Structure formats: C-alpha cells, structure tokens
Chains A and B, each alone.
Chain A
Amino acid sequence: MIELKNISKRFNNFKAVDDVSFTVDKGEFFGLLGPNGAGKTTIISMLSTVLLPSEGTIKIDGNILDRKASGTKRKISVITQEYSMRQDMTLDEVMEYQGRLYFMSKKDIKRKTDELFEFANLTEFRGRTVRRLSGGMKRKLMVCRALLTDPEILLLDEPTAGMDALSRRQMWSLLRKLNSDKITIILTTHYMEEAQALCDRVALINVGKLEKIDSPSNLINELGEYAIDENIDSDMKSVFFHDKQAAIEYLQNTNNKAELRTTTLEDVFLECYGRKIDLD
C-alpha cells in the first residue's frame, strides 16, 4: 500500500503541493487528474524520490520512502513525462544500464530486453542511439525500461502524451494487463477518457490541493449520469441529471438546440475546474 500523509512541496515561495493525503491499495489503478500546474508531476516526482517533500511522509508497505530506501525503491519503476535517459546510448545500452542499476544478472537483462523489444516492435532499432528515435519510439523505450525490472509499483506521468490513437490504445491494453497482474499503477494524464477507461479511483487536484477522490463512476453519479449539451447564444452549456426522465423532459421543453448523452469524467473535470476558472 502507498500512503501519502500531509504531503506539501514548496519551491521557494510557491507551494506546488499543499497538504495532500491519500492511500493507494496494492494492485489498484489510481489516476491523478488536474489542469496544467496542478501538482500532479510534483507528486509523481516525490513518489520516485527525485523530489523530497517539504512536509509530510510517504510510506510504501509501511516503510518510509526516502533516497536511502533501496529495498523500497526496488519495487518502483517510473515513466516520466520527459525522456529521462542518456541520449547518446543505444537502446540495448539503455536497457543494460537500467538492469545493472537494479542489480539484475546480465542473462536476465538480455532475456527480458529481447522480450520487451519484441513486444514493443523495437528489435530492429536496438542498435540506434536514443537521440535518433522518434518521440513515440522513445516513449515505448521508456515503457520497456520501466518494465525490465518487474516493478510492483508503476508510476506513469503522462505515458501516452504525443502518441497516436492506435499506440495509445495499445498502451491501454498493456496497462490493463499489467494491472491485472497485480501491479499497482499511479497515472497522471490529460486524457479524461484514458482515466475513465483505466482507473479504479481518481484524485482531482487543483493548485496543489486535493479536491475530490473517488471512482470515476461515483464522481459521475455525483454530478448526474445524464447530460444535456445546450446551445445558448452560440455558447454551449451542459446540464446534468440523475434521472433520465427528467433529462428527457428538459430536452422537450427547451427551445435551444440540445442533445442528450451520458456524463463522462471529462464533465466532472470541467465542472470541477471550469467553475473555479469562472469564479476567478
């Protein structure tokens, strides 16, 4: 179990994360959602010890996570938003370096690298340097590198950013498979349909504060399962209903162009953050 307790992170006078607490159960698929600058990446960076919290503690399976916690860190792999790897190494060298840093035998590194490259269609590029890969291939390499060490916890910071639709779906399938193998996954994403499709629970974060935490279906139910998009003076407004009959009646009574649909996590996101932007 991952436990964040009263975590805050300051950069000089700016508070990027403000007193955030939550737990993630073993084998859970957990999403961190929020607008740009909400503090999602900062939380992932603290979970990977690249950043240390200004206040609060992070525990994994009851052990405090810090930079000395080698045994705990062995359980974690990270896919960062940036391509955090040496650009002058070949794909094979990137994998071998990772394996060596995780104390894997050379034989295991070779075997798992072959499997992962085969799976990610990277075999023919294994002699290339990272610098000469496309963005999508670099992203795939980061996935291979993260999976090389058989992690128990996978931290994913925008793992599908910049991927085409097909690659994104392939990544979703892979993540589902990993999660079904009891790997705990914490994911940040801008794609709401991704969070809705994958996550057991999501945390909505804004300006460093935890706003809501629940399953996507509960958050949707809280807002109303049915939505009507209504065009009012060339502007579109969404109205939400718990009851389908009430939604249909509203649709029949309105003079504006309107359409009934089911509510999505994106609606929850927009309601949560759009309202704040309006107030500001």
Chain B
Amino acid sequence: MGILAVLWEKWVEFKRDLYKITVSIMILPLMYLLVFSFGIKFSINGEPYFHYLIPGLIAMTTMTSSFGAIAQNMTVQRLYERALDQVMVSPTPLWQFILGQVIGGSLRGLYAAIIILILTSPLRGGLIFTPLSIGILFLNGLVFSTIALVLSFMAKNHTDAPRFNSYIIMPMSFLCNTFFSTENMPHGIREFVEILPLSQTCEMVRNIANGRVASIRGIVILIAYLVAGLIISAQFLYKKKNL
C-alpha cells in the first residue's frame, strides 16, 4: 500500500527530528499563554481568558504543525532534491502518495495538539476534550496538510514556502477565532473569516471544551476544503505536464 510507504517516510523524518519538532511545537503556544494569560490578565464572561484561549491555541497548533510538516519539505523535495521524481516513476498510485502526505501531516498536527494539551493541563480547569475534539483536530490537520501540499506544488522556488506562511498561516492564526471571537468584526470581513477552516475548528473545539455541541456545519466546511484540496493536488500530479 503506497500510503504506508509515504507514512513510513514521514515516520523516519519524525523520529530523526523528534527533539527539534517537539521543542518548536511548544515555543509559540507557550509564548501566547505567557503573554495573554499571565502578562495581560483579563477574563471573558467572568472566566479566565486562558479558558477561551486554550482550545484556540490547540486548533492553531494543529494548523501550523500540519502545514509546516508538508509545505517546506515538499517544496524542497520537488524543486531541489528532485525526490518527488522517485515517487512519480514508482508504481505507487499518486492518489495514495497524496493521501499518505496528508495523513502524515495531520498526524504531526495531532502530535502537536497532544503536546499542548499536556502543557496546558494545569490551566485547563473544567475544559473538556473528547474523542470528537481529537477527530476535529485531525480533520483540521488534514485540511492544512492538503493546503500545504497544493501550495508546495505551486511554489516556484524555496523562498515561496515561508511566504505562504506569511500570507496564509499568520493571518489565520490571529484572525480565526483563536484569540478573540469573530463576532465583533466588521460586516463582510466577519463572514469571510468565519468561513475559513481554522475559525470553524476553533469554534467546534471550543464548544466541545465548554460542554456545548459542535456544529455539523463546521465539519461540512472542513470536509469541503479537504475535498477541494485533494482534487487540486490530484489534478497537479496526474495532469501537470511539467512538474
């Protein structure tokens, strides 16, 4: 099964860089926790702010880790190492390669989420994380791995990968329900931001954490992004004449 070959490759990469991956996962969320929860102390509806922040941080971490696991790596493999050629020549069906990459990226995101869950466990109070939360985070990882795959296929050179981060990941990190609710955003911008995948993930994970029900609409939106990304990736690998 080609998917397993790709997952094995991702596992080799993960094992080798385990220490570096783990440390880099922790730094940014820890900074946010320190700044927003201990530095600038405030509350929302009488609740400590980090009760609002933690679900958003976890969702954001799955996004950045899943995206990061694919974008830079695949850009380098395609344009510089030419390691993608090895896959193109092989009999592994390309759809299996795509799924392997996306699942591998999402598992990296899930690993990051678990690290942040462990780190924030003394602060979480009554926040609830269920298997459904994990499933939504996994789906979020799939979406952002797919987006990373599509962008890395479009990259013209290695400097494009950090640019994607600045254009897509950074704005989403700040705007998509992570640190504050989208409810107060101006009309037009709010509707746009709310339809973005991270906004949906943050809202669903936060609802579950606070004992509320996650909307099925959010899951449908995430699946729509995922399917669109997979179709674009497959079009690229199967149809593009010059990789």
Main secondary structure of the interface of B (DSSP, over half): helix
Interface string of A186-199 (1 = CB under 8 A from B): 00000000000000
> B8 near A80 (CB under 8 angstroms)?
no
Min CB distance, B95 to chain A, in Å? 9
Q: How far is the CA of A89 from the CA of B77 in the complex (A)?
A: 12
Q: How far is the CA of A102 from the CA of B93 in the complex (A)?
A: 10
Q: How far is the CA of A101 from the CA of B242 in the complex (A)?
A: 22
Interface string of A221-254 (1 = CB under 8 A from B): 0000000000000000000000000000000000
> B91 near A102 (CB under 8 angstroms)?
yes
Main secondary structure of the interface of A (DSSP, over half): loop
Interchain CB contact (< 8 A) of B2 among A50, A67, A83, A101 = A101
Min CB distance, A205 to chain B, in Å? 19
Segment from A17-25, A30-38, A68-76 that makes contact with B: A68-76
> A273 at interface (Cβ–Cβ under 8 A)?
no
Interchain CB contact (< 8 A) of A52 among B1, B12, B241 = B241
Interface string of B71-102 (1 = CB under 8 A from A): 00000010001110111111111100000000
Q: How far is the CA of A33 from the CA of B208 in the complex (A)?
A: 66
Q: How far is the CA of A50 from the CA of B4 in the complex (A)?
A: 22
Question: Once A and B bind, how many residue pairs between them come within 8 Å at the CB atom?
Answer: 86
The residue in chain B whose Cβ has the minimal distance to the Cβ of A155 is B89
Interchain CB contact (< 8 A) of A48 among B1, B88, B92, B237 = B88
Give the chain B neighbours of A77 by CB distance below 8 A. 89
Min CB distance, B7 to chain A, in Å? 10
Given A80-B85, A97-B8, A98-B86; A51-B241 close (CB under 8 Å) = yes
> B5 at interface (Cβ–Cβ under 8 A)?
yes
> A49 near B88 (CB under 8 angstroms)?
yes
Interchain CB contact (< 8 A) of B238 among A53, A68, A93 = A68
Give the chain A neighbours of B242 by CB distance below 8 A. 11, 51-52
Interface size on A, residues (CB 8 A): 34
The residue in chain B whose Cβ has the minimal distance to the Cβ of A48 is B89
Interchain CB contact (< 8 A) of A84 among B2, B83, B238 = B83
Q: How far is the CA of A68 from the CA of B94 in the complex (A)?
A: 8
> A80 near B4 (CB under 8 angstroms)?
no
> A86 near B83 (CB under 8 angstroms)?
yes
Min CB distance, A110 to chain B, in Å? 14
> A85 near B241 (CB under 8 angstroms)?
no
Q: How far is the CA of A53 from the CA of B87 in the complex (A)?
A: 19
Give the chain B neighbours of A11 by CB distance below 8 A. 242
> A80 near B82 (CB under 8 angstroms)?
yes
Min CB distance, A1 to chain B, in Å? 19
Give 11 pairs: A residue, B residue, CB < 8 Å, sorted on A. A49-B88, A50-B89, A52-B241, A70-B92, A80-B85, A85-B86, A88-B13, A100-B9, A101-B87, A101-B91, A103-B1
